């Protein structure tokens, strides 16, 4: 901008000076002025007018001479020493200039060469000799001519000023040469006097390549040496500035071009390398991935993440470890369902039908499930409903019932086993920092389904454990909590995933094992085990047909008689569920097939003898010690285990000693305390029981619970321990086929206990006829009786230990002083031996 302004102002100056002839009139000698008057010598010379060109002294320029008058002028000059006055038109448009159309300042020149061109024009080479003006202008001879006066250089300034200006000019010119490569740098700038300075200044003017027409005319007309140098300095500074700017721009452009070229080159190289490595298909594949991602209906956040990952993948060599990790990640995202859901087909009748067709019995559980489905159907949006948790011993059909729920809803069914999970990362995934990291079990399950709303079974939720580092239960809490699971973030995926449409069902063997925060969010449905009758129904209706089908047998080829089935249930299995039963039935089928293949039989109806033959001795023969009447010191309790109800026999023995109480059989602390409480009760009742007050100090008491490998604990054995002790002390045997459960207090009260359903079922299955239970459990048992047929079991409710003794012995136990002391003495003697 600055430059342009300056240039414009210079042009203005020039036009003022040159264009107005009247201005020049008083400056220049008039045409009438004589040679003597001006004081200059004059020579008659032809005049050659130029358009847009100024010939400076010391310059040699080629000129095409085409106008007739000019040709004549040149021809005249050639005849007269080749001298010619060359000046410029102030308007290049004029074809036939007159005196006023010409600058009066021109150059006396000499023609160095002439060439005639085919079109009649002349090409001449003219050299400027000296600044000059023309007077006595005429056109008489057919060309312009006049008297030409040389104009010498004036020099009025002091020497130092001239020298300073000269140095300035030299410096500027040197800089100018540096910037302008086109300028010949053959001028020697070493000048010793003003004459030489004058000469070199004109040379410099000639060498400035971009000197405009107007500037040239100024330089030509400036006769004063210092002024001319100053004018040149101005021109040079402005030129240098322009050149510097040009150079900067060029530099910038060059670096841009260089960058573009570099990128282009590198890209080409990459392409070539890819081709060389046989990776041309990679980009095609990535495009496919991109298209797939678009189809999945990913959320904006996920889409951005995937696209970023695909871009990264593009840059990587396909077999590098980063590429493998990246590819693995994209594959996971693309394999998950993000939008598609299955429409629930909730028809209650249909659901009931499916539940009944897969499971016999379980009426209470089924009722609760149907109730749950009804609520879901009614509200259409039961995402916030509690999570069903099926609790019960193994093999009662928890897993298969969950599958039936999924079937009745028409949803996909996925099972996640939580047994032994102790690391949060198994639920929430591993961070994507190393090869082989995977999402957690939840996302893994989601990958297997195509829909966002499957039924996911969290199997064995009571078996998750925790260590000091992580707690999987808290991760599960996020999964199950409807407030949080809409935006579940797996560590591997790193993006939010919506689990709110998933229906979660959990299973557990025991409620106690379920972490409390999880338990709090669940609706517990108990499946407590089957009676023998129920097992028979399940076996005939489900297990036997299923096994026949699996083994490719027909009902004609293999039948199991009901006696045989009873035998299996009673003596070859002991369980709450039916898994063992199913296994035994399968074994019988395999034996059948074996015999059919050996052609010993064609079909068979399996009876009890056949069962014994094929399965060998019964595993669980009913040889309960309670059946023999004459053994004292024995009582049978009922216990609850994870595997269902069981009997717990208590043996006691009284031996001479110092009053030590020994308990063996892997007992927990609670059990030991129960024994202490029982003993305290007996001491308080010693008189009633016919015992000496010091009975406990003279004798050692040993209480043993057989099956020592199984750990036992809990307060419910209290009354059993007490009964066994009293039997041993009084030598009164307990009644046969009697089992009991109940906690004892020091004052002999009997407190309520848990797990009664399983305990009663076990008592019934093991052939007990009577059970003693706490009176406080009356209501619970009434509930149980509604569901389970326990009609052949006499249930005795007791409030105190005295009542227990009433029912546990045929007659009230009382030690016989005569009978008891003698054998004891004998025994003591024996012991001493
Ligand atoms: N009421 C029933 N009617 C028909 N079949 C049953 C019934 N209960 C259980 N079964 C069968 O018993 C087998 C075991 O059931 P399932 O695997 O569901 O038990 P589970 O309760 O999940 O046991 P675990 O706690 O050991 O996982 C299955 O083949 C199932 O079909
Ligand atoms: Mg299961």
Cross-strand bridge partners of residue 496: 489
Give the active site residue among 17, 305, 398, 759: 759
Residue having the nearest C-alpha atom to atom 10 of ligand 1 = 397
CA of 359 to the centre of ligand 2 (A): 14
Identify the pLDDT of residue 314: 80
Cross-strand bridge partners of residue 367: none
DSSP run (H or E) holding 130: strand 122-138
Cross-strand bridge partners of residue 319: none
Residue having the nearest C-alpha atom to atom 30 of ligand 1 = 397
- φ/ψ region of 395 (left if φ > 0, alpha if ψ in -120 to 50, else beta) reads left
- The gap from C-alpha 812 to its chain's centroid, in whole angstroms, comes to 74
Listed in sequence order, the residues at least 6 apart from 46 whose beta carbon sits closer than 8 Å to its beta carbon are: 72, 73, 74, 76, 77, 80, 84, 85, 143, 144, 145
344 phi and psi, to 5 degrees?
A: -65, 135
Q: Is 361 in the pocket of ligand 1 (CB under 6 A)?
A: yes
Q: Which of 578, 581, 641, 758 to mutate to test the pocket of ligand 1 (most atoms within 8 A of CB)?
A: 578
759 is catalytic: yes
Cβ proximity of 698 and 653 under 8 Å: no
3-state secondary structure of 342: coil
CA of 509 to the centre of ligand 2 (A): 9
Nearest ligand by distance to the CA of 580: 1
Q: Half-sphere exposure of 807 toward its Cβ, with a 13 Å CA cutoff?
A: 23
**Nearest-CA neighbor of 44 among 96, 72, 85?**
85
As to burial, measured by CB atoms within 10 angstroms (0-12 exposed, 13-18 middle, 19+ buried), residue 41 is exposed
* C-alpha to C-alpha distance for 90 and 440, rounded to whole angstroms: 92
655 phi and psi, to 5 degrees?
A: -135, 155
Q: Is 362 in the pocket of ligand 1 (CB under 6 A)?
A: yes
Q: Is 366 in the pocket of ligand 1 (CB under 6 A)?
A: no
Q: Is 396 in the pocket of ligand 1 (CB under 6 A)?
A: yes
Q: Is 147 in the pocket of ligand 1 (CB under 6 A)?
A: no
39 phi and psi, to 5 degrees?
A: 85, 5
Listed in sequence order, the residues at least 6 apart from 57 whose beta carbon sits closer than 8 Å to its beta carbon are: 107, 128, 129, 130, 131, 202, 220
* C-alpha to C-alpha distance for 698 and 732, rounded to whole angstroms: 20
Q: Is 293 in the pocket of ligand 1 (CB under 6 A)?
A: no
Give the active site residue among 716, 769, 786, 799: 716
Identify the pLDDT of residue 85: 93
Identify the pLDDT of residue 831: 35
Residue having the nearest C-alpha atom to atom 16 of ligand 1 = 397
Q: Is 425 in the pocket of ligand 1 (CB under 6 A)?
A: no
Indicate which atom in ligand 1 lies nearest the CA of residue 542.
4
Residue having the nearest C-alpha atom to atom 25 of ligand 1 = 394
* C-alpha to C-alpha distance for 664 and 712, rounded to whole angstroms: 11
Identify the pLDDT of residue 252: 87
Nearest ligand by distance to the CA of 578: 1
Q: Is 579 in the pocket of ligand 1 (CB under 6 A)?
A: yes
CA of 399 to the centre of ligand 1 (A): 6
- Residue written as token pair 């330089």: 219
Residues lining ligand 2 (ion), CB within 5 A? 399
What b/e string do you get for 340-349 counting C-beta neighbours within 10 Å, with b at 16 or more? eebebebeee
Measured at the CA of 636, the angle between CA 630 and CA 640, to 5 degrees, comes to 170
Collect the ranges in the chain with pLDDT lower than 50: 1-40, 624-626, 818-833
Q: Which of 369, 395, 416, 505 to mutate to test the pocket of ligand 1 (most atoms within 8 A of CB)?
A: 395
Nearest ligand by distance to the CA of 363: 1
Q: Is 542 in the pocket of ligand 1 (CB under 6 A)?
A: yes
Cβ proximity of 567 and 620 under 8 Å: no
Nearest ligand by distance to the CA of 577: 1
CA of 404 to the centre of ligand 2 (A): 13
CA of 78 to the centre of ligand 2 (A): 124
Q: Which of 388, 403, 577, 581 to mutate to test the pocket of ligand 1 (most atoms within 8 A of CB)?
A: 577
pLDDT, one tens digit per residue, over 614-667 is 888 877 765 544 455 567 888 989 888 777 778 888 889 888 888 888 888 877
* C-alpha to C-alpha distance for 601 and 270, rounded to whole angstroms: 77
Nearest ligand by distance to the CA of 364: 1
**Nearest-CA neighbor of 129 among 149, 104, 100, 147?**
149
Long-range pairs of 466-473 with CB within 8 A, sequence gap ≥ 24: 466/422, 467/422, 467/423, 469/423, 470/422, 470/423, 470/424, 470/425, 471/424, 472/418, 472/421, 472/422, 472/423, 472/424, 472/426, 472/427, 473/515, 473/517, 473/518
Q: Which DSSP string do the residues of 355-424 spell out, in sequence order?
A: HHHH-SS-HHHHHHHHHHHHHHHHHS--TTSPEEEEE-STTSSHHHHHHHHHHHHT--EEEEE-TT---H
Q: Is 360 in the pocket of ligand 1 (CB under 6 A)?
A: yes
CA of 457 to the centre of ligand 2 (A): 10
CA of 400 to the centre of ligand 1 (A): 6
Identify the pLDDT of residue 824: 44
Structure tokens at 621: 């023969």
**Sign of the alpha-carbon torsion through 445, 446, 450, 452:** positive
pTM flag (> 0.85): no
């Amino acid at each position: 901008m600055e430059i342009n302004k300056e240039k414009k102002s210079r042009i203005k100056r020039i036009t003022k000076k040159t264009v107005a002839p009247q201005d020049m009139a008083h400056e220049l000698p008039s045409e009438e002025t004589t040679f003597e008057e001006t004081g200059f010598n004059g020579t008659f010379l032809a005049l050659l007018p130029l358009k847009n060109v100024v010939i400076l002294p010391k310059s040699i320029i080629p000129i095409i001479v085409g106008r007739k008058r000019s040709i004549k002028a040149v021809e005249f000059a050639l005849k007269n020493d080749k001298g010619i006055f060359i000046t410029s038109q102030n308007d290049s448009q004029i074809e036939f200039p007159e005196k006023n159309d010409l600058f009066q300042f021109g150059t006396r020149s000499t023609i160095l060469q002439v060439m005639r061109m085919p079109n009649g024009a002349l090409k001449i080479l003219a050299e400027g000799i000296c600044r000059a003006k023309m007077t006595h202008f005429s056109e008489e001879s057919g060309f312009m001519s006049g008297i030409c006066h040389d104009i010498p250089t004036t020099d009025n300034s002091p020497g130092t000023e001239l020298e300073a200006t000269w140095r300035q000019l030299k410096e500027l010119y040197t800089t100018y040469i540096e910037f302008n490569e086109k300028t010949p740098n053959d001028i020697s700038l070493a000048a010793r006097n003003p004459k030489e300075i004058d000469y070199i200044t004109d040379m410099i003017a000639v060498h400035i390549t971009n000197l405009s027409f107007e500037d040239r005319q100024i330089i030509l007309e400036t006769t004063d040496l210092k002024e001319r140098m100053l004018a040149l300095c101005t021109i040079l500074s402005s030129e240098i500035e322009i050149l510097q700017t040009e150079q900067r721009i060029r530099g910038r452009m060059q670096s841009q071009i260089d960058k573009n070229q570099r990128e282009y080159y590198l890209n080409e190289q990459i392409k070539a390398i890819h081709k060389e490595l046989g990776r041309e298909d990679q980009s095609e594949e990535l495009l496919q991935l991109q298209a797939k991602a678009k189809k999945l209906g990913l959320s904006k956040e996920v889409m951005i993440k995937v696209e970023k990952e695909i871009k990264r993948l593009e840059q990587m060599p396909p077999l590098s470890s980063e590429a493998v990790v990246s590819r693995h990640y994209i594959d996971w995202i693309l394999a998950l369902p993000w939008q598609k859901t299955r429409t629930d087909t909730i028809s209650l009748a249909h659901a009931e039908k499916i539940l009944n067709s897969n499971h016999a019995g379980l009426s209470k559980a089924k009722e609760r499930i149907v109730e749950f489905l009804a609520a879901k159907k009614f509200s259409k949006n039961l995402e916030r409903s509690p999570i069903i948790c099926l609790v019960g011993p193994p093999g009662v059909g928890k897993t298969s019932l969950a599958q039936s729920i999924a079937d009745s809803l028409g949803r996909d069914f996925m099972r996640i086993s939580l047994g032994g999970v102790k690391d949060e990362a198994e639920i929430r995934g591993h961070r994507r920092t190393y090869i082989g990291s995977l999402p957690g079990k939840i996302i893994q399950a989601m990958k297997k389904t195509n829909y966002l709303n499957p039924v996911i079974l969290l199997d064995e939720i009571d078996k998750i454990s925790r260590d000091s580092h992580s707690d999987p239960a808290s991760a599960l809490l996020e999964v199950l909590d409807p407030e949080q699971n809409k935006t579940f973030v797996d560590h591997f995926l790193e993006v939010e995933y919506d689990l709110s449409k998933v229906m979660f069902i959990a299973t557990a063997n025991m409620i106690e094992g379920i972490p409390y925060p999880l338990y709090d969010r669940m609706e517990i449905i108990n499946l407590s085990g089957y009676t023998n009758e129920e097992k028979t129904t399940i076996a005939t209706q489900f297990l036997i047909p299923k096994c026949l089908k699996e083994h490719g047998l027909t009902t004609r080829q293999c039948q199991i008689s009901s006696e045989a089935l009873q035998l299996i249930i009673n003596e070859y299995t002991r369980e709450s569920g039916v898994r063992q039963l199913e296994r035994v039935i399968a074994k019988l089928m395999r034996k059948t097939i074996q015999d059919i293949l050996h052609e010993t039989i064609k079909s068979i109806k399996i009876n009890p003898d056949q069962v014994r033959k094929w399965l060998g001795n019964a595993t669980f023969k009913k040889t309960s010690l309670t059946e023999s009447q004459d053994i004292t010191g024995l009582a049978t309790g009922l216990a609850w285990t994870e595997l269902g109800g069981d009997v717990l026999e208590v043996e006691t023995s009284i031996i001479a000693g110092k009053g030590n109480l020994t308990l063996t059989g892997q007992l927990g602390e609670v059990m030991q305390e129960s024994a202490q409480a029982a003993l305290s009760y007996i001491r308080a009742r010693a008189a009633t029981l016919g015992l000496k007050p010091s009975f406990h100090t003279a004798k050692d008491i040993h209480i043993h619970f057989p099956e020592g490998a199984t750990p036992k604990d809990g307060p419910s054995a209290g009354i059993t321990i007490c009964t066994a002790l009293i039997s041993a002390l009084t030598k009164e045997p307990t009644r046969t086929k009697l089992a009991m459960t109940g906690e004892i207090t020091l004052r002999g009260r009997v407190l309520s206990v848990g797990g009664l359903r399983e305990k009663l079922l076990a008592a019934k299955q093991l052939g007990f006829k009577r059970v003693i239970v706490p009176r406080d459990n009356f209501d619970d048992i009434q509930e149980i009786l509604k569901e389970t047929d326990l009609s052949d079991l006499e249930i005795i409710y007791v409030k105190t230990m005295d009542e227990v003794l009433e029912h546990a012995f045929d007659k009230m136990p009382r030690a016989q002083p005569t009978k008891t002391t003698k054998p004891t003495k004998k025994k003591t003697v024996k012991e001493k031996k």
